[in-house]
Amino acid sequence: MFKAFCPSCGADVPFKSPASVMAVCDYCQTTVLKDADSVKDIGKMASVLEDYSPLQIGTTGIYQNQAFTVLGRIQLKYDDGLWNEWYTLFDDGKEGWLSEASGQYVFTFADGVASDAPPFESLRPLSKYRLYSATDVRTARCTGGQGELPFKVGKGWKTQTADFRIKDNFLTLDYSDGFPPLRYVGKAVELEQLQCQLLRDQDAIHESAGRIKGQMQALDCPSCGTQIPYANQEFKHIVCPACSANVELTESKAIVVEKHQQQAYVNTTLTLGDKASIDGIDYLLIGLLKAEEMGEDAEAPWTEYLLYNADKGFLWLVESSDGWEKVKVLNEMPDNSRDNLRYQGKTWKKLWTYRAKVGYAAGAFNWRVKVGDMTEITDYQANEQKISAEKTAQEVTWSLAQKVPQALIAKWFNKTLARPLINANAGNKMMVFKIFASILWLINLPLIIFGSGSFVLTLIATAILYFLAMGT
């Protein structure tokens, strides 16, 4: 291990990896560049924003039967959120990157130069590279760093990357240094699989964010003055329920990122700050939004509730006229090479594709939600489960939804819930079907009684009317 003294404050700055070329002083945030056997001060590195990550410098774990240690971190920010790239060193000297975004983890390793890669400007979500499909294409900038890093970065350093997936296999094309890009390959992982030691616990996460564990806080909206309830400062993006302003929390203050027109409060079945016990795990409801389908034949709006647990991450509950669903974002991409999906050994039938818009949002989110956000959604179904692909200009995400009885929702939250609303459009369609089906039965009743092949025609006509009424 190479050890240096910080040129700015004199504190010890260790270099545990021979490949590390820079480190950030823990005491004064000076960026220390290692050049041969000397070091020099190349300026200050911004402190990372303390977020909900359980990882920290010094965390150890096991991946593919090899032990690793977390040595450093880069925090990258894009227009609507941020993510962490953790630099790791394995006991055999191999280097890796553990990417962490919205509670999902991916381990990748350098795989040389991708001379066959397409230009960055040509890539879109679901673009193909080899057998992989693009799931995230974006430009971001470095906003902070910690510990050791294998290359020189600084505040404002810009990166252009495209992430690709096939099942649990992951590939990144990094265009930060131009074309051709560097290629990184790896796999999606669950934090539990890594058998990590020295993780931050829930108390440490909440303490570093300056808030009290398990409680909702109140912040005066910098735009309209309304108190905004939110859960702990590790969530940096908050939406005011009154004026819909997008508020971003910095280390010292709350600033208005984007201001919208005043909006009326919306009554929802569940409210910010509600607590739930789901499968023995305690969750806190930190954010909610209402979305609606675009188009003349749009169904009734639905409500999405964001729940959070420091160990298990994020969970969504969706309330619609069809009932309740528990939704988990997938860290493994289904096989979408055909019209239908293949996932977990099952075929998922494509139902429909539609566009949805956010009409209301309130609370804290792990990305910046804005009223008016548009998403293209494609639904697939297998038995009582549903997979949805949500696509924007920068990314596509896949989520798995499981129907949940309302009685179970009430039990989870220990509260009485109002009866679900009936979908007016679906009700009208079914009413049309019932009326016309009844007329057909009355007309053909004598033929049925006295025996005639017309009974078969009646069944066929009834089926046709049913599908017409349901709009399929």
Q: What does the pLDDT look like over 83-114, one tens digit per residue?
A: 999 999 999 999 999 999 988 999 999 999 99
- How far apart are alpha carbons 187 and 194 in whole angstroms? 12
State the pLDDT confidence band at 364, using cuts at 50, 70 and 90. Answer: confident
Structure token pair of residue 40: 């020099």
pLDDT at 412: 98
- How far apart are alpha carbons 326 and 406 in whole angstroms? 11
pLDDT at 258: 44
122 has a pLDDT exceeding 80: yes
pLDDT at 20: 53
217 has a pLDDT exceeding 80: no
Q: Quick one: how far is CA 214 from the chain centroid? A: 22
Mean pLDDT of 347-375: 90
- How far apart are alpha carbons 199 and 440 in whole angstroms? 68
From the list 90, 89, 98, the residue with the least C-alpha distance to 170 is 98
Please tell me which residue, 60 or 444, carries the higher pLDDT value.
Answer: 60
pLDDT at 84: 94
Please tell me which residue, 24 or 470, carries the higher pLDDT value.
Answer: 24
pLDDT tens readout for residues 415-430: 998 866 544 344 444 4
- How far apart are alpha carbons 291 and 306 in whole angstroms? 13
Q: Indicate the average pLDDT of the chain.
A: 79
Mean pLDDT of 318-339: 92
**For the ranges 65-69, 277-281, 285-289, 419-423, which has the lowest average pLDDT?**
419-423
Paired with 274 in beta bridges are none
124 has a pLDDT exceeding 90: yes
Residue 68 has φ and ψ, to the nearest 5°, of: -135, 160
pLDDT at 254: 44
- How far apart are alpha carbons 312 and 150 in whole angstroms? 30
295 has a pLDDT exceeding 60: yes
Mean pLDDT of 58-69: 97
Measured CA distances, 114 to 164, 420, 466 (Å):
13, 53, 54
Mean pLDDT of 210-224: 53
State the pLDDT confidence band at 13, using cuts at 50, 70 and 90. Answer: low
CB 17 within 8 A of CB 140: no
Rounded-to-10 torsion of CA 141, 101, 21, 13: 110
212 has a pLDDT exceeding 50: no
Q: Quick one: how far is CA 464 from the chain centroid? A: 41
Mean pLDDT of 361-390: 91
pLDDT at 316: 97
152 has a pLDDT exceeding 60: yes
- pTM equals 0.74
